[in-house]
Every structure is written in structure tokens, then in C-alpha cells.
Amino acid sequence: MEELRFNPSVNTQRHQYVIDFVKTHKPKKVVDLGCNDCSLLRKLKFHREIELLCGVDLQSNSMKKKMHELAPLPTDYLQPGASPLSIELYHGSVTQKDARLRGFDLVTSIELIEHLHLDAVERFTEVLFGYMTPGTAIVSTPNVEFNPLFPRMRGFRNSDHKFEWTRAEFQSWALKACGRYGYEAEFTGVGQAVPHLHLQVGFCTQIAVFRRLSRGGGAPASSGDAGEIFSYKRLYSVSYPSLCDNNVLRGCLVSEVLHWAYQLSRRRRTEDGDGDDGEEGLGHTEPDRAETEPTDEFEESVFDGEGTHGWEDVKMTSRGQLESYRQGRCVFVPLHRVWSCCPRIRDLSGSLARLRLFIADDPLVRLSQDGFAVVLDEGEEVSEEEPENTNRMDPACHHAVEEEMWESL
């Protein structure tokens, strides 16, 4: 029989199934039971609809080897997410209860239950559905009916497997759990054989997706527990920068304001003939005129609450807009021009008044006395160099995760 191989590997297909589910259903709290070396967590951290991402495993060494790859990258600080993200890893058994993992939107258990003895599977079932009570759970396990397609395989797919279920056995366990704890399940899988054998042997990996019913079919097993239970040891915890943090938001706004103030100031110097002749040397492409021209809405709101300004050397655009101007050795760039030129600034601040409030006390920004303009010293330049690409890592840090023999086929 010709050796059967999968491309991509079955392990990659399992992870992709979870990722596709996250993209579609956008759970905010996700925990991976039996996270091993955190390979699935390292993929899920890029999906910022998730706000809390946890992993649990009994083998702490596997987690410790890779857990620091869950830390934020430099790009996460340069472009913070709109929502917060916290990642936590716990050392403990999935047959034990811990109150910190109750009520999650999604629990994943990928190729885990076959490593448990059958009596431990019963305790795991109670902990997962009766105590943790997630909105959704994804459980995968090998399909023993598929094994004959691997000609060199003898016994189970892994020496640590305590059992491998047929499709009927897996579905029997799942439906029993549904009836007891108030869930419904649908069955699928990944790793498909050639079409004419699929009906006979099914998927290489079988998957059950459990969804909690609004009215459960049975009382949770934890209903009689007294107090909260904390049986896991937390190994790792990290929080990502997000725009929900006012300090992070202020930093983003300051960076954008300084960049655009410099661009507008440089454009004015170029137009007046007392600066560079063109765009050469700029670290950023000159924005399109269509993008930088304020809309009528901006024009109408420019002077709301501002009063009138009597500077004689203020330059007016053809549309009646105040432009950047010079007084002495300082260049004044009206804050409303900065706000109207950059969609990101408008999105982050929401209003001109809120933008002024955010940056007014920041030591990197100098505003005019009335807060109307950003003040730059003549010749002052904001660094236009592209940041070093610190997102590149030594390839040795990304060596392939060792998979079970059958997973790489």
C-alpha cells in the first residue's frame, strides 16, 4: 500500500480548524487544555478579537520552553490593538477544577483525551462541561478506524495513548456528555482519505464541537461546591498594549501628531521656497492632496469653541483653511490641520477637543499658549527613519515543532 501523507500536516489542519472557528465566532475568552508547547496559543495570539487567552498542561517543561514566544512583539507596541489581550499559562491537570477557567467562550482540547485513562476521562468530562461550562468546546481525538491506512503503524499512534476510539465510541461519549450537562454536539474532522475510502474510515482526526444550550439538560456537577477552587499554578502571565490604556493611546496620538505636524510644516517651507525642493529624503510618502484636504464637516467645526485669531502672518488656503505659519524661529501648525489630514488621528481621538486634551500635557508635544497649534522649532525634524525590523527572529527560534510520526504524514 502506498504511504499516506497529508499536506498540510494533520496537526496544522487541526489548528487551522480552531483558527477558522475563532475568526467566524470571535470568542473573547479562550483556553486550550493540554496546550503542550503552546503552539496553538502562539497562533491564536494574533487574533485580537480574543481578550483572554489561557493554556493548561500537566507538563510544565513543555510550556516553559516556548512560553516566552507568547510575549508581545515590537510591532504590538508600534500598532497596539483596539482591545486588550492577556495571556496566562497554568500548570495542572485537566481533571482538576480551577475557578479561574470557568465561563470561557471557547475551550479547546486537541488530541488530549486519548492520553487519559478512562476513569480520568470521566473526571475530565465533569470538569469541562459540569464545572467550566464554556459556551463552546472543541474536542479532537484520533479515529482508530483510519489507522489501517498507515501500513507501518502497529498499535496506537503514540505510545502514551491509553485508548483510541472509533467514530461510534467517540460520538457515544460526546452525546452522553451532552445529555448530562446540557450541550449539543456536531461531528466533523480533519485529515481526509481518498474520496472512495472516506465513508468507510472517516477522518484521520475526529472532532466534536459542543455548544451549550440555553437551558441545560442537567444540573452542573459543581453546584454543590463550597467556595472557589484554585488548584493550578500560574507559570506565565503577560498583557499586551492596547488602545484601551490611555497611556498607550496618548503615545500613539503623540507619535501621529508629531509626524503630521512635521509633514505639514515641511510642505509649507517647500511651497515658500525656503526648504527642500521635493520629497527626496522623506521617510514617508507625501500624502495625496485628496486625502489631506479636510471635508466640509471639518471646515464647519474648525473654529467651534476656538474664537477668532488675529495673527497677521497666518496663511489661508484657497478653501479658507488656516495653514501652518512661522513666528520668529518657530513654526506653528494648526492642530485642526493635523487632525483633518490623518484618518488614524481622527479615529483614535474622536474629536479635535479630545485630541487636544490627550496631548496637552505630554512633554514631547509643544502647543501654542491657546492650544490652537503645534509648535516646532525652525528646522526641527521628527525622525523619519523606518524602525528597525525587530520582528525578525533567529530561525533557530522557529524550528519546527516535533510532531507524532503520523501527524507529519
Model confidence over 111-160: pLDDT tens digits? Answer: 999 999 999 999 999 999 999 999 999 999 999 999 988 887 777 888 89
For the residues 281-307, what does the mean pLDDT come to? 38
Q: Which domains does the chain have, with CATH numbers?
A: 10-243 (3.40.50.150), 246-377 (no CATH)
Residue given cell 505639514 in the structure block: 264
Residue scoring higher pLDDT (30 or 272):
30
CA angle 315/320/321 to nearest 5° reads: 65
**258, 365 Cβ separation under 8 angstroms:** yes
Model confidence over 313-372: pLDDT tens digits? Answer: 444 443 344 677 888 888 899 998 898 888 989 998 999 999 999 899 899 999 998 888
In 3D space, the residue among 287, 279, 266, 267 whose CA is nearest the CA of residue 344 turns out to be: 287
Cell numbers of 139, please?
474536542
> Does residue 212 carry a pLDDT above 70?
yes
- Cα dihedral angle (61, 65, 68, 69), rounded to 10 degrees? -130
For 4, 22, 34, 38, the CA distances from 45, given in Å and listed in that order, are 32, 11, 17, 10
| Per-residue DSSP letter, 232 | P
> Does residue 37 carry a pLDDT above 90?
yes
CA angle 190/123/164 to nearest 5° reads: 35
For the residues 192-201, what does the mean pLDDT come to? 84
Peptide bond into 8 cis (omega under 30): yes
Question: What 3-state class would DSSP assign to 85?
Answer: coil
For 90, 218, 261, 305, the CA distances from 34, given in Å and listed in that order, are 10, 26, 51, 58
| Per-residue DSSP letter, 19 | H
Q: What is the layout of strands, in order, in the sheet containing 86-91?
A: 183-192, 203-212, 136-142, 106-110, 29-33, 52-57, 86-91, 233-239
Q: How far is CA 37 from the centre of its chain?
A: 19
DSSP per residue over 299-362, as a string?
HHHTTTTT-----TT--B-TTS-B--EEETTEEEEEHHHHHHH-HHHHHHHSSHHHHHHHHTT-
Question: What 3-state class would DSSP assign to 51?
Answer: coil
Model confidence over 55-102: pLDDT tens digits? Answer: 999 999 999 999 999 999 998 888 898 899 999 999 999 999 999 999
Q: What is the 3-state secondary structure (H, E, C) of 277-312?
A: CCCCCCCCCCCCHHHHCCCHHHHHHCCCCCCCCCCC
- Cα dihedral angle (238, 28, 126, 63), rounded to 10 degrees? -30
Distance, in Å, from the CA atom of 284 to the CA atom of 293, rounded to the nearest integer, reads 18
Cell numbers of 133, please?
461550562
Q: How far is CA 118 from the centre of its chain?
A: 36
> Does residue 311 carry a pLDDT above 60?
no
